[in-house]
C-alpha cells in the first residue's frame, strides 16, 4: 500500500511535532493535523506555535503550506487519509471506576467514533496516544459496530517515545520505532505500510514490530522503568545524607557499570511531567484488575518514593527558614518541570499550604 495522505487527530505535544517531522522527511506525503480547537489550529498556522520545543519552529516553517497542514476540517481529512493517527489526551480518570489511577479513554473513544462515522474505503488507524493494554480492541469494537459497506480498518499501536525538551531530536534520531499489529495478512500489510513511512529516515533495524498488546504495554513499561530509576537514586540520596556519602559520586560509580548505565541517575526533587506518574498509576490499576496485587504494590512504591522525596525536600527548605515560610520570600529558578520545554502544567510542586 502506498501512503499518500496522513491525518493526525490531535494537535498537541505528540501530534504536532510527530507529524511535522514526518512531513519534513516524507515530502511526497500530505500530512494534515486536525483539532477541534480553532484557537490551537490558528496558533499552529501562526508564527507563535502553541508549544515550545527546540527545533520545532524551523521544521514547521519548512513544511507548513507545502505538505504539512493544520486544520479544523476533521471529517474531510479523515475521509481522504490512508493512515489516521490518534494523538489525543489520555488523562487519569477523575471519577468512576479506577478514579485517580485508570486512564480516561473518552477522547480516544470519541476519535474512534468520529472515524467510524465518516471513513470511506480502507483505513489504517494508529494509536499514538499512551493507552492501557487492549485499548486497540475497544477501538476495533467501535469501528466494527459501525462498519459500512466498502469500509475496512486495521488498528495499529505505534506509541511515541518522546521526551519534552528533546522531542524533535528524539524523532529525527529515534532509538527505536515500535509498531504493533494484528497477526494476519491484513495486519502485516498495515504494519508494512506504516513502516515504509518511518523508513524514509529511520534504519530498518530500529523498527520493531510486535503484536498489538506487546506494543501497548511496552510504552507503559518504558515510562515505569525510567521513573523507577529516578526513585531508586532519590531513595539512595536519603541514605547518603544520613551517612556522609555523596549521591553524585554513588551515581557515577554505579552508572559506569555497563549493566546499569548513567542515564536517569541524577538525584532530584522527584520526577514531574505529564507522563510518568499518570502511566505508572495506570499500570498499577491494570495490575490490580488482573489481581496481581504484589506487582501493583511494587510499582505503587515508585510513586510513593517520589512523594517522599518531594516532602523530604520541602522539610529541608522549611528547616533552613527556621521552620516557617510565613512572610518569607522564596525564589525558584525555572518554572517548567524541566529545561527546554514550555510545559508548566505538569511541574512537581514541592511546597504546599501545609508547610506554612
Quote the pLDDT of residue 342.
Answer: 64
Domain ranges in the chain with CATH number 3.40.50.720: 5-211, 220-355
Residue 148 labeled ligand binder? no
Residue 60 labeled ligand binder? no
Q: pLDDT, tens digit, for every residue of 278-300?
A: 999 999 999 999 999 999 999 99
What do you get for the CA distance between the two ends of the chain, in Å? 62
Across the chain, how many H-helices and E-strands are there? 12, 8
Task: Please name the fold of domain 5-211.
Answer: Rossmann fold (3.40.50)
Residue 106 labeled ligand binder? no
Percent of the chain scoring above 70 in pLDDT: 94
- CATH homologous superfamily of 220-355 equals NAD(P)-binding Rossmann-like Domain (3.40.50.720)
- pTM of structure: 0.90
Burial of 23 (0-12, 13-18, 19+ CB in 10 A): buried
pLDDT surpassing 60 at residue 114:
yes
Active site residue 275: yes
Residue 277 labeled ligand binder? yes
The one catalytic residue in 8, 87, 275, 287 is 275
pLDDT surpassing 60 at residue 232:
yes
Residue 23, all three cell numbers = 512531513
| Angstrom distance (rounded) from CA 222 to CA 160 | 11
Amino acid at each position: 500500500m502506498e501512503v499518500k495522505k496522513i491525518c493526525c487527530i490531535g494537535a498537541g505535544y505528540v501530534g504536532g511535532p510527530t507529524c511535522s517531522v514526518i512531513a519534513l522527511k516524507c515530502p511526497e506525503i500530505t500530512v494534515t493535523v486536525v483539532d477541534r480547537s480553532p484557537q490551537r489550529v490558528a496558533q499552529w498556522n501562526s508564527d507563535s506555535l502553541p508549544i515550545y520545543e527546540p527545533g520545532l519552529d524551523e521544521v514547521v516553517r519548512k513544511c507548513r503550506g507545502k505538505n504539512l497542514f493544520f486544520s479544523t476540517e476533521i471529517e474531510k481529512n479523515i475521509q481522504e487519509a490512508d493512515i489516521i493517527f490518534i494523538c489525543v489526551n489520555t488523562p487519569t480518570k477523575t471519577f468512576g471506576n479506577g478514579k485517580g489511577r485508570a486512564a480516561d479513554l473518552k477522547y480516544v473513544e470519541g476519535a474512534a467514533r468520529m472515524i467510524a462515522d465518516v471513513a470511506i474505503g480502507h483505513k489504517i488507524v494508529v494509536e499514538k496516544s499512551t493507552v492501557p493494554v487492549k485499548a486497540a480492541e475497544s477501538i476495533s469494537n467501535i469501528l466494527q459496530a459501525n462498519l459500512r459497506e466498502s469500509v475496512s480498518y486495521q488498528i495499529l499501536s505505534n506509541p511515541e517515545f518522546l521526551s519534552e525538551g528533546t522531542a524533535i531530536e528524539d524523532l529525527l534520531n529515534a532509538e527505536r520505532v515500535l509498531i504493533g499489529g494484528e497477526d494476519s495478512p491484513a495486519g502485516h500489510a498495515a504494519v508494512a505500510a506504516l513502516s515504509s513511512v518511518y523508513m524514509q529516515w529511520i534504519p530498518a533495524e530500529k523498527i520493531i514490530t510486535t503484536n498489538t498488546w506487546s506494543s501497548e504495554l511496552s510504552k507503559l513499561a518504558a515510562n515505569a522503568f525510567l521513573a523507577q530509576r529516578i526513585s531508586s537514586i532519590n531513595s539512595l540520596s536519603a541514605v547518603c545524607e544520613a551517612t556522609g556519602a555523596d549521591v553524585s559520586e554513588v551515581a557515577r560509580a554505579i552508572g559506569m557499570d555497563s549493566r546499569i548505565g548513567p542515564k536517569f541517575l541524577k538525584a532530584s526533587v522527584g520526577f514531574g511531567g505529564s507522563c510518568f506518574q499518570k502511566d505508572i498509576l495506570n499500570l498499577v490499576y491494570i495490575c490490580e484488575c488482573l489481581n496481581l496485587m504484589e506487582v501493583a504494590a511494587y510499582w505503587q512504591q515508585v510513586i510513593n518514593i517520589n512523594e517522599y522525596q518531594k516532602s523530604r525536600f520541602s522539610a529541608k527548605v522549611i528547616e533552613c527558614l527556621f521552620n516557617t515560610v510565613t512572610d518569607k520570600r522564596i525564589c525558584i529558578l525555572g518554572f517548567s518541570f524541566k529545561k527546554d520545554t514550555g510545559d508548566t502544567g505538569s511541574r512537581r510542586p514541592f511546597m504546599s499550604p501545609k508547610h506554612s
